[in-house]
């Protein structure tokens, strides 16, 4: 096998090594051996499935064949073949992964006007883009929280000042000018005003637009790279 497109190479890598996220991230042997995951699950990948399917050590009672095998020789032959197959699958997986990483390091893409390697674009997608989304969520939450608090405070202040003006009007002859001054005086000591040195509303808008551009560029550029980049891989059987 040779001259694979990168997207095909990624498919082969997935079939060999299985899923690498969620429950399948890192070591899963204990989970499988405890019966919490099926050992022939395709998501494990052919390398691990082959490991679980093999019987590297066995036993035989008296002159009987090892259970599940026609003879001792049959068991030994198949066990050695399985061991060799696992080693070869591991070797093929390592070589393919290395070629994919090399291709991703050599090729360049432009994301939101910034040129970067495909390798870093993948890191950007998986690490930095989620952080930008976290930042946007936090900014929106903080901004809305302050807006709500200010609104509550000012509604309460409005009610208090209205009560003061109403009480004053009942005890004195109403005077529009005096009432206005009294209202402004009391509100100046009770009204909450937003302090926004950064211009948070504009920051939120710009960050949201930036995230949309980055997501679109990443999706488009990485897809185009995957279907246009060639991988020369000739695994031994």
Domains in the chain: boundaries? 4-106, 120-222
Q: What does the pLDDT look like over 142-170, one tens digit per residue?
A: 999 999 999 998 898 888 877 777 766 66
Instruction: Give the confidence band of 76 by pLDDT, cuts at 50, 70, 90.
Output: very high
Question: Please, are residues 198 and 156 in contact by the beta-carbon 8 Å criterion?
Answer: no
b/e sequence 69-86, b meaning 16+ C-beta within 10 Å: beeeeebeeebeebeebb
The per-residue pLDDT for 135 is: 97
Instruction: Give the confidence band of 69 by pLDDT, cuts at 50, 70, 90.
Output: very high
Q: What is the pTM of this model?
A: 0.78
Instruction: Give the confidence band of 192 by pLDDT, cuts at 50, 70, 90.
Output: confident
The per-residue pLDDT for 169 is: 63
Q: What does the pLDDT look like over 87-107, one tens digit per residue?
A: 999 999 999 999 999 999 999
DSSP letter, residue 65: P
Best CA proximity match to 178, nearest among 191, 193, 186: 186
DSSP letter, residue 37: S
Half-sphere exposure of 179 (CA within 13 A, CB side): 14
Best CA proximity match to 212, nearest among 204, 223, 222: 204
The per-residue pLDDT for 170 is: 65
Q: How much of the chain, in percent, has pLDDT values that exceed 90?
A: 75
Q: Rounded to whole angstroms, how far apart are CA atoms 200 and 219?
A: 28
The per-residue pLDDT for 15 is: 94
The whole-chain average pLDDT of the chain stands at 90
Q: What does the pLDDT look like over 201-230, one tens digit per residue?
A: 999 999 999 999 999 999 999 999 999 999
Q: Is the model's pLDDT at 177 over the cut of 70?
A: no
Mean pLDDT within 33-47: 93
DSSP letter, residue 67: T
């Amino acid at each position: 096998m040779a001259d694979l497109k990168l997207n095909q190479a990624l498919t082969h890598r997935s079939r060999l090594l299985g899923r690498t996220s969620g429950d399948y991230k890192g070591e899963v042997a204990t989970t499988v051996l405890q019966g919490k995951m099926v050992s022939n699950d395709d998501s494990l990948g052919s390398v691990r499935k082959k490991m679980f399917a093999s019987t590297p050590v066995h036993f035989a009672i008296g002159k009987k064949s090892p259970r599940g095998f026609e003879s001792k020789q049959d068991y030994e032959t198949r066990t050695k073949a399985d061991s060799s197959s696992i080693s070869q699958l591991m070797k093929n997986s390592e070589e393919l992964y290395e070629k994919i990483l090399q291709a991703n390091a050599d090729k360049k893409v432009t994301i939101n006007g910034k040129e970067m390697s495909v390798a870093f674009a993948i890191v950007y997608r998986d690490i930095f883009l989620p952080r930008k989304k976290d930042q946007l969520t936090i900014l929106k939450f903080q901004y809305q929280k302050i807006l709500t608090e200010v609104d509550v405070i000012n509604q309460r202040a409005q009610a208090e000042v209205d009560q003061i003006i109403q009480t004053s009007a009942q005890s004195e002859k109403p005077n529009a000018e005096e009432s206005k001054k009294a209202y402004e005086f009391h509100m100046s000591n009770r009204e909450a005003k937003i302090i926004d040195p950064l211009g948070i509303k504009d920051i939120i808008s710009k960050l949201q637009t930036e995230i949309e551009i980055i997501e679109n560029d990443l999706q488009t550029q990485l897809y185009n790279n995957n279907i246009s980049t060639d991988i020369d891989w000739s695994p031994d059987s």
